């Protein structure tokens, strides 16, 4: 399905995740974050970059992995991305929802 994000037609799945990561850019990111009621800070960007790096290396993502990463502690992760931090952060990062998320 297609969705208009940042005045562009973007391919998304039924949950709103980008189908094609190459369509992602910072403008798209900011629009998705705004839809999720998240104002991006430098720490948000650090997390997004970390998630994208893991995705590009085809490494699985999980809350436990983020905890061990040293990028962010779990309490802060939940604070930055309330209401499902791994789901919301990967949605904003333009990468598929991790298998560890239900």
Catalytic positions: 101
**Cα–Cα distance, 50 to 25 (Å, whole number):** 15
**Cα–Cα distance, 64 to 80 (Å, whole number):** 16
Measured CA distances, 26 to 42, 88, 94 (Å): 13, 16, 10
């Amino acid at each position: 399905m297609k969705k208009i994000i940042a005045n562009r037609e973007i391919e998304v799945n039924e949950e709103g995740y980008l189908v094609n990561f190459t369509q992602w850019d910072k403008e798209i990111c900011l629009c998705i974050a705004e839809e999720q009621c998240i104002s991006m800070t430098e720490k948000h960007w650090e997390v997004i970059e970390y998630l994208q790096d893991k995705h590009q290396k085809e490494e699985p993502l999980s809350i436990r992995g983020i905890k061990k990463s040293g990028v962010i502690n779990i309490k802060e992760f939940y604070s930055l991305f309330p209401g499902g931090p791994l789901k919301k952060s990967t949605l904003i990062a333009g990468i598929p929802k991790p298998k560890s998320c239900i």
